[in-house]
Amino acid sequence: MAVGTRPRSRRPVQTAQPEVTYLSGAAATSLRPLLEAPRRPARVLAAFPLAVYLEVRTETEPRVLALVTGEATRLPNAVVLTGPLDGFSPGDDAWVGDGVVEAGGRAVRVRRWWDPAPPLGAVSGTALATALPVLHDICVSSPRQPGLESGGASALLSAGCHRGSLVDAITAAEQLMGLGPGLTPSGDDMLAGLLVTLRSVGTAAGVGRAVWLADWLAAAVTFDARTRTTPISATLLHCAARGEAGLETLAVLRGLTGRQPLEPAAHRLLRLGHTSGADLAWGIRTGVSAVLGLGERDAE
């Protein structure tokens, strides 16, 4: 072999490591099963300037979490970030678990937790009966109205809950699930507002029949939510079934129970999305009306 022809050993190829930006966040306690589990693969479902939605490959709920900025709606499945949201695209691979969310060149470590289902404290039927017409007037006078026509399934749901008719309530709920366009269809938002209100306000008012109705209605809604609506909306329905809600919804519930001013909270809720806020408000009004009606029946 001629000098200089001996083959040199091949040097390992140097590959540039992707740059990762590390952030911290505050997560809803509803996400503990996801975030405290071992790392699982996930993907970016949707990306917006103020919110990014990730779907985790798991058979349990919640399976969708939202990364949001401080300016975004704080959903009950949200991790609130201290930095901006950029560099995310639908379809991106991600990882969730061991206290970290990794996607789009970001690694978000959860440093704090917040409660999406804080107890409201005791409230009297008289106080609720005084506050409900105030919320009703704000909603009917607002240009933001629910995305579904009045009557039909929504009317059946309202009447069924007021009477405590489980058959009518479940029949109507099955018709409303997944009804309407968007990531969170109007029918789902209406059900979410109702479920949260029946459970939280029913508990606060000591109306056991309302909590009983919430339990059974929640079981029916969550049984096949995954196959009836979008992944994002299915997770939010599971959250609502446990009494978990976004901050705007919680603020209205606190307003109804005298914990904070009701009117500004109601206007903030109504501004959410195209119709989501109005749909949630419909569910809240229906839920409070049902709590009052069922409470009167219990007292007879």
In this prediction, residues 124-129 reach a mean pLDDT of 97
295 pLDDT exceeds 90? Answer: yes
For residues 225 and 192, the answer to whether their CB atoms sit within 8 Å is no
For residues 279 and 186, the answer to whether their CB atoms sit within 8 Å is yes
Residues 76 and 179 in one domain: no
Question: What local confidence, expressed as pLDDT, does residue 18 receive?
Answer: 59
In DSSP terms, which residues pair with 54 in a beta bridge? 44, 65
DSSP three-state, residue 170: helix
123 pLDDT exceeds 90? Answer: yes
In this prediction, residues 93-104 reach a mean pLDDT of 94
In-domain check, residue 8? no
Residues 104 and 142 in one domain: no
| Alpha helices (H) in the chain, listed in sequence order | 32-35, 125-141, 152-163, 166-176, 186-205, 208-223, 225-228, 231-241, 247-256, 262-270, 276-299
Residues 152 and 82 in one domain: no
Residues 226 and 289 in one domain: yes
6 pLDDT exceeds 80? Answer: no
Give the model confidence (pLDDT) of 269-292 as tens digits: 999 999 999 999 999 999 999 999
Beta-carbon-side half-sphere exposure of residue 208 (alpha carbons within 13 Å): 2
Place 61 in a pLDDT band, splitting at 50, 70 and 90: confident
Question: What local confidence, expressed as pLDDT, does residue 294 receive?
Answer: 96
Question: What local confidence, expressed as pLDDT, does residue 300 receive?
Answer: 63
Report d(CA 34, CA 98) in Å as an integer.
9
What is the span of the domain harbouring residue 108? 21-114
Number of domains in the chain: 2
Beta-carbon contacts of 201 under 8 Å, excluding residues fewer than 6 positions away, are 120, 123, 128, 210, 253, 256, 257, 287, 288, 291
For residues 109 and 99, the answer to whether their CB atoms sit within 8 Å is yes
32 pLDDT exceeds 90? Answer: yes
64 pLDDT exceeds 60? Answer: yes
> Can you give the pTM of this predicted structure?
0.90
Question: What local confidence, expressed as pLDDT, does residue 229 receive?
Answer: 94
Mean pLDDT of the chain: 91
In-domain check, residue 262? yes
Question: What local confidence, expressed as pLDDT, does residue 9 receive?
Answer: 45
Give the model confidence (pLDDT) of 208-264 as tens digits: 999 999 999 999 999 989 899 999 999 999 999 999 999 999 999 999 999 999 999
In-domain check, residue 32? yes
3 pLDDT exceeds 60? Answer: no
In-domain check, residue 83? yes
Residues 250 and 271 in one domain: yes
Cis peptide, bond prior to residue 62, ω within 30 of zero = yes
In-domain check, residue 3? no
Residues 110 and 132 in one domain: no
Beta-carbon contacts of 8 under 8 Å, excluding residues fewer than 6 positions away, are none
